[in-house]
A = this chain, B = another copy of it.
């Protein structure tokens, strides 16, 4: 319970007056007796197997009988029991998404806007493949692998989508060892010794190219002292974006100044504080590349508070393409990730693995799109 005031329905306006006791008496028995195939068979005067076949439109059952049984089933509101079906087929037609963003204590502050977009893509594509989607919180430390054992070993799902990939991610070795079907959102095991033999597909947004393109955009505007704020060393996406930044500098023959490449947390507050520091330098940078839009928000607010006008002279660029970027003042230049698309593709790849027919091209790179707005271009 939080400190939120919670009042009861009886105190609310115009609410029906129901106590828990009354409700307890009203609450119907749980509907435990749903019609089964055996029940339909009994009523139709045939064998279970005949019903099963009729419902699946097996041509060995004559059309008339089929129709009769189907009508009866519809009339009884029959729905096949998923567990029974799953048990037979040794499949559950379910895929799981494991995400850290579901944890309440990730320190990301408010919820990750990413996840919904990803989920929308996943849910949409999964539905069209007749798959259910299971949502699973990622655990950390000792219990991390236990999640996958429970979900895949226990057949809660047939396969799983991994996110938040790290270098030397030990989940990969574990999943391979147990032959648990999975796909990755994010680059795989290129740093594993057996990288070239890693057999599962992945899809990712090309973070390195995106960061390079963004940095080149700043360089093209004439900036020479470009700071890069953000990220730790934990996840691939952070490392890759930083690599893209350095790549752009190198291509432009600009020196890489480690003091300008600043590690940080992932909240807007980190962006705010670090930008304050940067602006207090004798010779501050003229542009800041924030590793995420959320960080960029803090960057821009710090500039605002310091009286620095964001635009061509002092440019800020973010990464992600979250909706909020266009509402900032000035609107934020950023690299938009096609998250929906990633979700769809991940499901397609995973379904292919589950069918045993991996796709022609198991490794999909999606290019982020540079969206130039006033935070670099001015009005």
Contact = CB atoms under 8 A, between A and B. Distances in A.
A14 interface: yes
A111 B104 contact: no
Contacts of A358: 20, 23-24, 27
Contacts of A123: 102, 135-137
Nearest to A2: B341
Contacts of A283: none
Contacts of A81: 87, 154-155
Interface in A135-182: 135-137, 149-150, 153-156, 176, 178-181
Interface stretch (A221-229, A231-239, A359-367): A359-367
Contact of A120 (B84, B103, B150, B153): B103
A112 interface: yes
Contacts of A84: 83, 87
Interface in A67-105: 77, 79-84, 86-87, 90, 92, 94, 101-104
A158 B117 CA distance: 27
Contacts of A111: 113, 116-117, 120, 323
Given A79-B150, A149-B77, A357 B15 contact: no
A8 B356 contact: no
Interface of A: 1-2, 4-9, 11-20, 23-24, 26-32, 34, 77, 79-84, 86-87, 90, 92, 94, 101-104, 109-113, 115-117, 119-121, 123-124, 127, 132-137, 149-150, 153-156, 176, 178-181, 190, 195-201, 206, 208, 268, 297, 301, 304, 322-324, 327-329, 338, 340-341, 353-354, 356-367, 369
A195 to B, nearest CB: 5
Given A24-B357, A127-B137, A324-B327, 20 more contacts: A1-B341, A8-B361, A9-B363, A16-B190, A20-B358, A26-B199, A30-B181, A32-B90, A77-B153, A82-B156, A83-B86, A83-B92, A101-B120, A110-B117, A110-B322, A110-B323, A116-B116, A133-B134, A324-B324, A328-B329
14 contacts: A9-B364, A19-B361, A24-B357, A24-B358, A27-B356, A79-B150, A81-B155, A83-B86, A102-B124, A104-B120, A112-B116, A123-B135, A134-B134, A304-B329
Question: How many monomers of this chain does the complex have?
Answer: 2
Given A133-B135, A155-B81, A6 B357 contact: no
Contacts of A124: 102-104, 137
A309 to B, nearest CB: 13
Contacts of A198: 16
Contacts of A120: 101-104, 111
A121 B104 contact: yes
Contact of A116 (B4, B113, B364): B113
Contacts of A327: 268, 297, 301, 324, 328
Contacts of A179: 28-31
Contacts of A197: 26
Contacts of A363: 8-9, 12, 15, 18
Contacts of A20: 358-362
Nearest to A147: B127
A15 B156 contact: no
A362 B12 CA distance: 13
A198 B22 CA distance: 11
A7 B328 contact: no
Contacts of A17: 196
Given A155-B82, A328-B327, A6 B366 contact: yes
